[in-house]
Chain A
Amino acid sequence: KNEVEQSPQNLTAQEGEFITINCSYSVGISALHWLQQHPGGGIVSLFMLSSGKKKHGRLIATINIQEKHSSLHITASHPRDSAVYICAVAAPNAGGTSYGKLTFGQGTILTVHP
């Protein structure tokens, strides 16, 4: 079982729809990252959070530490939101060291149609 599980793996939406991507993890963490990767492109950090909720424009990220679960929401989705969204967790003392190692989920491929 992967330490970080994302769902769904693929998501198709119509422009304007509200989108939710989920991330569950099995280890204690110091922080959780949401990343965005456009096709053939680099990786951009969207959020880093360790508790509660963060909002940036149409994107909202929440985390529940007790349930080991985080969600990324996109309101009023747009075709330019089409990308792979990756959840990554930073766990203290991973592998016996503390160097900020990130463990990544498999990614969720989001396609938003006009």
Chain B
Amino acid sequence: NAGVTQTPKFRVLKTGQSMTLLCAQDMNHEYMYWYRQDPGMGLRLIHYSVGEGTTAKGEVPDGYNVSRLKKQNFLLGLESAAPSQTSVYFCASGRGRWTEAFFGQGTRLTVV
């Protein structure tokens, strides 16, 4: 049982490049979330999904897009990376709204 797996774990992008972060969970969870973690800011919600085929904006959605074509996968896309998107990105999943949250190992992204 792998839990929540994020790929890649590290990435360096040049300004303007695009990339997709993959989050995969094998727990059959309905709810999935993408957060970013910045020093002194705590974790902030980017986008979330409450089920296959559904996505919605969180607190800081600008510059990101997401897709949930399959229940087990939640993709986070950066169409045109900017240095302000340098951060550590965490994916999380949960069975329901008020249940235990399971987090991935994080993706450290640097945009130069």
Residues of A bordering B, CB below 8 Å: 2, 4, 30-31, 33, 35, 41-45, 48, 50, 86, 88, 90, 97-102, 104-107
Contact present for A104 and B43 (CB under 8 Å): yes
Q: Give me the interface of B with A, judged by CB distance under 8 Å.
A: 31, 33, 40, 42-45, 48, 50, 56, 58, 90, 92, 94, 96-106
> B58 touching A100 by the CB < 8 A rule?
no
Known: A45-B101, A99-B50, A100-B31. A107 touches B90 (CB 8 A): no
Given A31-B98, A102-B101, the answer on whether A43 and B106 have CB atoms closer than 8 Å is yes
Chain A, residue nearest B95 (CB): A100
Q: How many whole Å from B80's CB to the nearest CB in chain A?
A: 27
Contact B100 A48 (CB under 8 A): yes
Q: How far is the CA of A50 from the CA of B99 in the complex (A)?
A: 11
Majority-rule SS of B interface residues: strand
In addition to A99-B48, A100-B97, 16 A-B residue pairs with Cβ atoms within 8 Å of each other are A4-B42, A30-B98, A41-B105, A42-B104, A42-B105, A43-B90, A45-B100, A45-B101, A48-B99, A48-B100, A90-B98, A97-B56, A101-B58, A102-B43, A106-B42, A107-B42
**A39 CA to B9 CA, complexed, in Å:** 14
Would you list 22 pairs from A and B whose C-beta atoms are within 8 A, ordered by A residue? A2-B42, A30-B97, A35-B101, A42-B90, A42-B104, A42-B106, A43-B92, A44-B103, A45-B100, A48-B99, A48-B100, A86-B43, A88-B101, A90-B98, A98-B97, A99-B97, A100-B31, A100-B94, A101-B58, A102-B45, A102-B101, A105-B42
Complex Cα–Cα for A33 and B103 (A): 12
Given A33-B101, A42-B105, A106-B42: A99 and B31 interface contact (C-beta under 8 Å): yes
